[in-house]
A = this chain, B = another copy of it.
Amino acid sequence: MSVPVKDILSGNVRAAARLMRDLDDEIPAAIRTIKSLYRHTGRAYILGVTGAPGAGKSTLVNRITSLLRSRGKTVGIAAIDPTSPYSGGAILGDRIRMQQHALDEGVFIKSLATRGHLGGLSRSTIDIVNVMDAMGKDVIIIETVGVGQDEVEIVKVAHTNLVVVVPGLGDDIQAIKAGILEIADIFVVNKADREGAEKTQREIETMVSMGEYGEGEWKPSVLSTVAATDTGTGELLEEVERHRAYVFQESRIASYRREKARVELLEILKARLIEKAVKDLTRHGLLEPILEDMARKRKDPYSIAEKVADHSFAFRLLHGKKPPAAGGKGDGR
């Protein structure tokens, strides 16, 4: 039984949760549904919140959610962070879920744990964001640790990216440089009541000032918050609004949409390609012998991957032939 498209579009929470589960299990009916849903996406405002475990991301997301709710906005949260109480929630069932919004129908929370899946985290996150978007959520928050390749890629689907840091971790500034800097639209120095907050803020400002920004280009701002006491979160949301206005400029929004499409396509394609390749290799009884040959060092993975990628599986691997030229005489005539 497939989940009806109209149930998702009407915002049915139960249907959405079921669809997300079915997508994770790669149930064909669910994939058909998400295909139909795609054209109903693109309405939500997507906010990325990235930061190391312990930076207080969850508390901050909690506060932002409350503020948005008080303004009548509905919110979806996709949490990719094993140390987050949301993800904890995913693991422990409903027990330790974000208590404050647990009974609020206007908030949909979905946690993603790292899975054994080949396509994994990125594709799942894209699926979840798209389902929430189609449900009509006004704002979708992607919460992530931002360490892995996947996490850094995935937040590129966000309109606005917050990078949350805490004071006093000098090394963090270096860590930020490693790839997070380029995704940050707004830096948030959280736990700003701690010693060293001003220093951290100054360091980030210095770092930002060393970047090069074109005429009219957004220059990352640096704000301080104490999410635990709800300090500075209102100002933060104002800054998010300011960035939103920037992104939605007529000259900018098309390039954002293109970039979002790019990340979506590549991540979904990546997952599909490897799934298909493994399925094909397995079905034709090729996978195990290849692994055996590799283990015995009779074959190397680089050459195998090249072969598999360079040609369609059926031709090169099964028959040792090149596929017909792209010119196209090959269709059986």
Contact = CB atoms under 8 A, between A and B. Distances in A.
Interface of A: 31, 34-35, 38-39, 41-42, 52-54, 81-83, 85, 87-88, 91-92, 113-115, 117-118, 120-122, 126, 145, 147-152, 171-172, 174-175, 177-180, 254, 257-258, 260-262, 264-266, 268-278, 290-292, 294-295, 297-298, 300-306, 308-312, 314-315, 318-319, 321-326, 328-332
A145 B177 CA distance: 17
B330 A323 contact: yes
Contacts of A278: 266
A101 B272 CA distance: 43
A308 B91 contact: no
B174 A295 contact: no
Contacts of A323: 312, 314-315, 323, 330
B302 A31 contact: yes
Contacts of A31: 302, 306
Contact of A87 (B117, B178, B328): B178
15 contacts: A38-B297, A39-B300, A87-B175, A122-B149, A150-B150, A265-B305, A266-B278, A269-B274, A269-B304, A273-B309, A314-B326, A315-B331, A318-B328, A325-B332, A329-B332
B149 A309 contact: no
A92 B117 CA distance: 35
A89 to B, nearest CB: 10
Given A174-B91, A276-B310, A265 B292 contact: no
Contacts of A290: 261, 265
Contact of A321 (B147, B269, B305, B331): B331
A163 to B, nearest CB: 12
A264 B332 contact: no
Nearest to A172: B83
A206 B77 CA distance: 32
A329 B323 CA distance: 11
B264 A274 contact: no
Given A38-B302, A149-B148, A319 B328 contact: yes
Contact of A113 (B82, B178, B291): B178
A308 B273 contact: yes
A52 B83 contact: yes
Given A120-B149, A272-B306, 7 more contacts: A88-B175, A113-B178, A261-B292, A270-B274, A272-B309, A273-B305, A314-B326
A87 B178 CA distance: 8
A270 B267 CA distance: 11
B309 A275 contact: yes
A193 B213 CA distance: 47
Complex A-B, nearest 5 residue pairs according to Cβ-Cβ distance, in ascending order: A148-B148, A312-B312, A38-B300, A261-B294, A314-B326
